[in-house]
Amino acid sequence: MPEQSTVNKATSITVPSPFGPLSISESEGHIVALDWHGAENNHSSPLLEEAKAQMADYFSGKLKKFDLPLAPGGNQFQREVCNAMLKIPYGETCTYGDIAKLLDTYGQPVGRACGGNTIPIIIPCHRVLASRGLGGYSGEGGVERKIALLKHEGGYPYLL
C-alpha cells in the first residue's frame, strides 16, 4: 500500500447500489475513495471496471471479500485501523475496543479512524460496533446505513 494517497489525481466511476449511485476513485493503480454520490466525471479504467463488477457482486450477495488494491487516505494510524477492518469477515462484527487492543491504543481514536475511512463498504467500517451498541457511521444515511449493510451481510443477529 502506498505511503499516502491523493484523491486529487484520481479518476472516478459511478457505481449503482441499493443506496443510490456511488463513486469509486482510483489513483496510481489503487482504489482511494468510495463516496455516497455518483462521480462528477466518469473516467473508467480496468481497475475501476473491476471495482464496479466486484461491487455488483457484493450487492447481489455473490462476493464476500473484495480483492482490489487499496490506498486509503489518512495517517499511518488510520491506515493501520483500515488494515484491521479488512480482517473482519463478511457478516461478522468486532468492537472499536477489539481493534484498539490489537493496535495497543484506545477505542476513541479507533472510532475516529473508522469515521475517516475513505473507502467505506470495501474497507468494512460498518462491521465495527461500540461495546454497548452500534456506534456511529459517517457514511451517508448514518446508523441506518450501517444497519442496512450489516443486514445485507447477514450480520443482523449482532444487532439484537
109-159 pLDDT, tens digit per residue, is 999 999 999 999 999 999 999 988 888 888 888 999 999 999 999 876 555
3-class DSSP assignment, residue 142: helix
- For the annotated catalytic residues, the residue numbers are 125
48-104 pLDDT, tens digit per residue, is 999 999 999 999 999 999 999 999 999 999 999 999 999 999 999 999 999 999 999
CA dihedral 139, 24, 50, 42 (to 10 degrees): 150
Q: What is the mean pLDDT of residues 12-37?
A: 96
Strand ranges inside the chain, DSSP E: 11-15, 22-27, 30-35, 94-95, 128-129
Cross-strand bridge partners of residue 130: 133
d(C-alpha 145, C-alpha 138), whole Å: 9
78 grid coordinates: 488510520
Closest CA to 27 of 66, 74, 70: 70
Question: What pLDDT, on the 0 to 100 scale, is given for residue 49?
Answer: 97
9-18 pLDDT, tens digit per residue, is 789 999 999 9
Question: What pLDDT, on the 0 to 100 scale, is given for residue 4?
Answer: 46
Closest CA to 128 of 115, 140, 119, 118: 115
